[in-house]
Homo-oligomer: A and B are copies of this chain.
């Protein structure tokens, strides 16, 4: 039985949304996992009690009364709030009592906690947040999506390998293609660092690198060099694009709701707009750590939490973390020969 620890106090509407998402996951996903709810025990007991049909045999409650807020400084929060959901959940995983951690809380604290408590695989410079972007066909994985800025060439090359293993393990792409987010397709386009990263990626063994791609190619899912599965970028631009994209959905729904609300009742229209609903993808995996952490948006719905739990279970089942370790070990071995 896979044990998924869920920070029940992370999101904007905690613990209601987290508990609802956990119960949806237990009711609708294959029964290969149980949930470890993390938060103030009495409050969580009361919340779960609202659902008399819940499968209590697959729910554990772990007391974690400390609350890390969105404005807490990450490192300080991890060091001082030892009984927070983030620290308790990651300690469980570190000591072999849990297999995966899911949180919609303070991203910096989740990142710092995962790096400090679980550690990084040898050869990984920094853990990275990978975000699946919906496209008209299949999702494209963008990384880094905001965990790291001022990324070195070596780090960005690392993102390419991390994304490749994730696409293989979780999205079943046998030989995923990698593109570098840039401002032109030709070699030589870009800023100083992107030109260097492009040159480095072309030399990498074991990567299906197609070259530079542009902003428009992310959602198209392809550039003129072919389809794109993994998009590598510095976390600054990744974060700006990710937040911009979320705002597009909000803007369009807002305008349609204001001017032509009836069309949102139609199944075909909802189907067309579904691509804007990032909650279906659930969460963003933190890649490079020795373990499994899934980061959810602070505004996650219960459906997003459910899907993040699904991704966590898939990551454990696929052996994602050990595959990443093996990939980087072979790169290191290659580099030292």
Contacts of A263 in B (CB 8 A): 260, 263, 266, 269
CB-CB contacts below 8 Å: A211-244 with B = 214-220, 233-237, 239-244
Give A186-226 as 1s and 0s: 1 = Cβ < 8 Å from B's Cβ atoms. 00001110100000000000000000001111111000000
Given contacts A218-B247, A245-B244, A251-B220, contact A256 B272 (CB under 8 A): yes
B275→A269 contact, CB < 8 A: no
Chain B proximity of A303: nearest CB distance (Å): 20
A326 interfacial by beta-carbon distance below 8 Å: no
Chain B proximity of A237: nearest CB distance (Å): 5
B241→A240 contact, CB < 8 A: yes
CA A214 to CA B214, docked complex, whole Å:
20
A258 interfacial by beta-carbon distance below 8 Å: yes
A247→B259 contact, CB < 8 A: no
A183 interfacial by beta-carbon distance below 8 Å: yes
Chain A contact residues: over half helix, strand or loop, or mixed?
A: helix
A136 interfacial by beta-carbon distance below 8 Å: yes
Contacts of A242 in B (CB 8 A): 215
A252 interfacial by beta-carbon distance below 8 Å: yes
CB-contact partner of A256 in B150, B214, B269, under 8 A: B269
A277 interfacial by beta-carbon distance below 8 Å: no
CB-CB contacts below 8 Å: A88-138 with B = 135-136
- Nearest neighbor of A183 in chain B, beta-carbon distance: B239
CB-contact partner of A219 in B190, B251, B269, under 8 A: B251
Q: What are 16 inter-chain pairs, A to B, with CB distance below 8 A?
A: A149-B183, A149-B192, A183-B243, A190-B236, A214-B240, A214-B243, A216-B246, A218-B247, A220-B247, A233-B240, A237-B240, A241-B244, A252-B273, A255-B275, A256-B269, A260-B271
Given contacts A215-B242, A233-B240, 18 further A-B contacts (CB under 8 A): A135-B251, A149-B191, A183-B235, A183-B243, A191-B234, A191-B236, A215-B246, A216-B247, A217-B247, A219-B247, A237-B240, A240-B240, A245-B248, A251-B275, A255-B273, A259-B269, A260-B263, A263-B269
